[in-house]
Amino acid sequence: MNKWIAGARPRTLPAALAPVVVGTSLQHMSSHPINWLNAGLALGVSLLLQIGVNYSNDYSDGIRGTDENRVGPVRLVATGLATAAAVKRAAYLTFAAASIVGLYLSSRTSWWLVLVGAVAIVAAWTYTGGKSPYGYKGFGEVSVFLFFGLVATMGSYFVQSEILTWQSLVVALPMGALACAILAINNLRDLPKDAVVGKKTLAVRLGDRGARWMFVGLLLLAHIAAGIAAIITTRAFITIALIPQTYLICGEVLKGAKGRDLIPILGRVGKLQLYFAVGLAVAFFI
């Protein structure tokens, strides 16, 4: 079982947790109470989709041979810890579980969420799967920003309020930027090998230097967006306390950390996103 936990890539899970925390806590500022069951269901869908896309990537990259001799999280297929068929089945089962939870959540809120969920699952699979995966063309960050930023945050708010507001869009921006930053570090770590096997991620297209500055730009965007959230409540400025941590992370990346040295930074960026979410949640709950 431990190999399946490792294959789920736990360090990426804050990207699924954080937007739900933010979207749900925003509801506290309205005149209506939080629906904790809906919040829990939204969290379940988000986590299952994240795990599903991790298994899907493991399978698709594994059968293409692009995961051989990589550093970073365990690759089940590439290392032979699990067969390609077993990992593919794990991805399907996880997506099926996400669909069941999402279907129940839709029945409690809006059936339009079924369509949103279906599109999210297709996007998760075709990221590295299918005949023409868009993750191999440099569009991974766009998908992550959309689904693990805007959709996850605004969707978590929607299942509470059944409306979409400009406030939910504003607080979704830092979540999207930080989710992209997690992917950016992952792709920066894999840049040399991705370039060799023809996996043209955005990091490969930008080159090493450009990929590092893009990462810094994403963290800067997260802070700017969180500052804009002060329009909703001035207490959102609590995220200023995270600037020193952001500065240290950016410093290490700009100094040229590579390969295995980027693995702990990946975890720190995940925690940074979670800290942003907690900070905004505190601001909305006070």
Report pLDDT digits (tens) over 120-135.
999 999 998 888 889 8
Question: 194 with 204: CB under 8 angstroms?
Answer: yes
What pLDDT score does 92 carry? 95
Q: What average pLDDT score do residues 182-203 get?
A: 89
Backbone angles phi, psi at 163, to 5 degrees: -140, 160
Alpha-carbon span 64 to 60, nearest angstrom: 6
DSSP class per residue in 213-239: HHHHHHHHHHHHHHHHGGGT-GGGGGG
- Considering only 29-33, 109-113, 122-126, 150-154, which range has the smallest mean pLDDT? 29-33
Model pLDDT for residues 50-92, shown as the tens digit of each residue: 999 999 998 988 888 776 666 667 788 888 888 999 999 999 9
Counting residues of the chain whose pLDDT is more than 90, the rounded percentage is 67
Mean pLDDT across the chain? 91
Domain count, the chain: 1
In the predicted structure, residue 1 carries a pLDDT above the cut 60: no
Handedness of CA 73, 76, 77, 78 (dihedral sign): positive
Entry field: residues in the chain: 286
How high is the pLDDT of residue 68?
64
Q: What percent of the chain has pLDDT over 70?
A: 97
Range 138-158 average pLDDT: 93
Nearest in space to 280 (alpha carbons), one of 157, 144, 148: 157
pLDDT for 176 beyond 70: yes
Separation between Cα atoms, residue 114 and residue 71, nearest integer Å: 37
Rounded distance between C-alpha atoms, residue 136 and residue 246, angstroms: 29
pLDDT in tens, 195-242: 888 889 999 999 999 999 999 999 999 999 999 999 998 998 999 999
- CATH number of the domain where residue 114 is located: 1.10.600
Paired tokens of 228: 């804009």
The boundaries of the domain holding residue 60 are 2-285
Average pLDDT of the segment spanning 40-57: 94
**Residues 168 and 154 sit within 8 Å (Cβ to Cβ):** yes
